[in-house]
Amino acid sequence: QVQLVESGGGVVQPGRSLRLSCAASGFTFSSYTMHWVRQAPGKGLEWVALISYDGRNTYYADSVKGRFTISRDNSKNTLSLQMNSLIVEDAAAYFCAKDGRPNTWFSSSLFDWGQGTLVTVSS
Amino acid sequence: DIVLTQSPGILSLSPGDRATLSCRASQSISSSYLAWYQQKPGQAPRVLIYRASTRATGIPDRFSGSGSGTDFTLSISRLEPEDFAVYYCQQYGSSPLTFGQGTKLEIK
């Protein structure tokens, strides 16, 4: 079965960096577009970024563009999110999620989700 | 950006009732690329409906989705105790992907 396990969360000061990872298993990772979605404490869901199945295309929310970088290593079945210049508003649980259809993007909902990793931004 | 507005914000009903949740988009959603998710406290979201009206695998048939263009609805025909949760709509046809602000379905 599909498993997505996030790691790398923690407490970081404003202006610093953090790198999140998502280990994927149970499916052909290289065939699926992957996403990061975040949820601030007590708030709703906010899409952060996606990377196409082949890694050639990336898209970002305006709130993180220029600060965050999504990447993937299809040889290691791993998704990453490099977060630089963190601000208080970036504090949230970060979920990695998988598209429901292979070899496409912007045409599938998010079918499988990890349990999330918590990022706290505080001085 | 496509803004999704969900109503009501909170819906108070009893087990056995029918629930109707609304999601309105600021512009037409291409190919009805709209999904509904359920989220319970401390858990990741779970997809219920995609392409506006297709139930995801394993989702009970008391959940149904309808709509097109800018107006979409999630209906739950007979509420079970486990259905009380927060529900989000999401459009995935264009960047940025966007979610509605959520509807909390609570026990009356």
If you ran DSSP here, which 8-state letter would residue B77 be given?
A: S
CA dihedral of B58, B59, B60, B61, whole degrees rounded to 10:
-110
Q: Which of A48, A76, A106, A95 is nearest to B46 (CA)?
A: A95
Q: Is A122 a residue whose pLDDT tops 90?
A: yes
Band of pLDDT at residue A107, cut at 50, 70 and 90 = confident
| Mutation target vs A (from B32, B97, B99; most A CBs, 10 A cutoff) | B97
Question: Would you tell me how many other CB atoms lie within 10 Å of the CB of residue A43?
Answer: 12
Of the candidates B47, B50, B88, the beta carbon closest to that of A45 is on B88
Q: Is the confidence at residue A106, as pLDDT, over 90? A: no
Res B97: pLDDT: 95
Task: Provide, as residue numbers in chain A, all residues whose Cβ is less than 8 Å from the Cβ of B54.
Answer: none
- Count of all residues that appear for chain B in the document: 108
Contact B45 A50 (CB under 8 A): no
Percent helix, strand and coil across chain B, each rounded to 5?
5, 50, 45
Interface mutation vs chain B, best among A39, A57, A109, most B CBs within 10 Å: A109
Average pLDDT score, chain B: 96
CA separation for the pair B85, A13 (Å, rounded): 33
Mean pLDDT of chain A: 97
What residues of chain B, 34 to 73, have a C-beta less than 8 Å from chain A? 35, 37, 39, 43-47, 50-51, 56
Query: Mean pLDDT across the stretch B94-106?
Result: 96
Check residue B71 and give its pLDDT: 97
pLDDT band, residue A105 (cuts 50/70/90) = confident
- Is residue A98 scored above 90 in pLDDT? yes
- Tens of pLDDT, residue by residue over B24-62, are 999 999 888 999 999 999 999 999 999 999 999 999 999
pLDDT at B30: 84
Question: Could you tell me which chain A residue has the CA closest to the CA of B38?
Answer: A45
The per-residue pLDDT for range A44-69, each reduced to its tens digit, is 999 999 999 999 999 999 999 999 99
- Give the CA dihedral B70, A46, A22, B52, nearest 10 degrees: -20
**CA atoms of B10 and B52, how far apart (whole Å):** 22
Local confidence band at A112 (pLDDT 50, 70, 90 cut-offs): very high
Percentage of chain B lying above the pLDDT 70 cut: 100
- Which chain A residue has its CA at the smallest distance from B92's CA? A106
Q: What percentage of chain B carries pLDDT values higher than 90?
A: 94
CA distances B49 to A4, B52, B74, Å, are 21, 6, 8
- Do B45 and A113 lie within an 8 Å CB cutoff? yes
Spatial separation of the C-alpha atoms in residues A99 and A57, rounded to whole Å:
14
Contact predicate B90/B96, CB 8 Å: no
What's at A90, amino acid-wise?
Answer: D
| pLDDT value for A55 | 96
What distance in Å separates the CA atoms of residue B79 and residue B99, rounded to the nearest whole number? 24
- The contacts of residue B42 (CB under 8 Å, 6+ apart) are none
